[in-house]
Amino acid sequence: MADEVIKQPHPVDWSRRQFLVGTGGLAVVGLGALFGKSVIGQAVQAMAGTPVSTGLVHVYAGDYYYVPNHMKWRVGDNISLLFHNHSPNRFHEMMIGQGFDTAPSEFGPVRQQFHTDFWDGVHVTISEAHAVDNLATNKAIVNCEVNPHPWLITAPGNGNFSPTLMPGGYIRLDFTVPNKPGHWQYACFVQGFVHYRAGMLGNLTILPA
């Protein structure tokens, strides 16, 4: 059944998202920037696909990158997005949006999530799921065919629509690409936003119908 759509206030109460704000965050960022933006970064760029995708689309999360890190969808096409977390020991999410909400920190403002949630008003069916930590529905209209689903968060204050997977987890989201042409991004903001700061970001182009 479809969950009720509830407007999310700002700022976001991230304490209920079960994210780990590690004390070693800066070290992780440094390693991610050194490793993810050199060898892995170049490999991911080389593998980035530009054809228009439809039907079953696989997105793989690693530490700290996505494959592919660029996609094109077309308004009105049916997509089955199968998101996999291939990290052996880290949780990862896939949030899609535009612009950023920021939060103050001792290191200056940090980007905590996208300002505009791609999934707002979109009908989404969750048809497969394994090792899901949480999925905040925000203003998406969600039908979950997987039972039980204690990880589905519909209460307000938990941020944008974003499946967060445990190591080895996956989730399948079936939907029709909404009439939202333009440039979007997908990113992982978990662990105190460390993953995004380490370069875990992809680009999504939505083409007109």
More reliable by pLDDT, 136 or 28: 136
The secondary structure of the chain, three-state, reads CECCCCCCCCCCCHHHHCCCCCCCHHHHHHHHHHHHCCHHHHHHHHHCCCCECCEEEEEEEECCEEECCEEEEECCCEEEEEEEECCCCCCEECEEEECCEEECCCCCCEEEECCEECCCCCEEEEEEEEEEEEEECCCCEEEECCCCCCCEECCCCCCCCEEEEEEEEEEEEEEECCCCCEEEEEECCCCCCHHHHCCCEEEEEEECC
Tell me the CATH number of domain 14-207, given options 2.10.60.10, 1.20.1250.20, 2.60.40.420, 3.30.70.1380.
Answer: 2.60.40.420
What is the rounded CA–CA span in Å between residue 6 and residue 70?
A: 30
Distance, CA of 37 to CA of 43 (rounded, Å): 10
pLDDT of residue 23: 28
CA separation (Å) from 169 to 86, 90, 91, 165? 8, 11, 9, 5
The pTM is what? Answer: 0.77
Considering only residues 156 and 37, tell me which one the structure prediction assigns the higher pLDDT: 156
178-208 confidence digits (pLDDT tens): 999 999 999 999 987 789 989 999 999 999 9
Residue whose token pair is 């920037």: 33
Mean of pLDDT over the chain: 82
pLDDT at 4 over 50: no
Identify which of 140, 90, 117 has the alpha carbon closest to the alpha carbon of residue 12. 117
Indicate the domain borders of the chain.
14-207
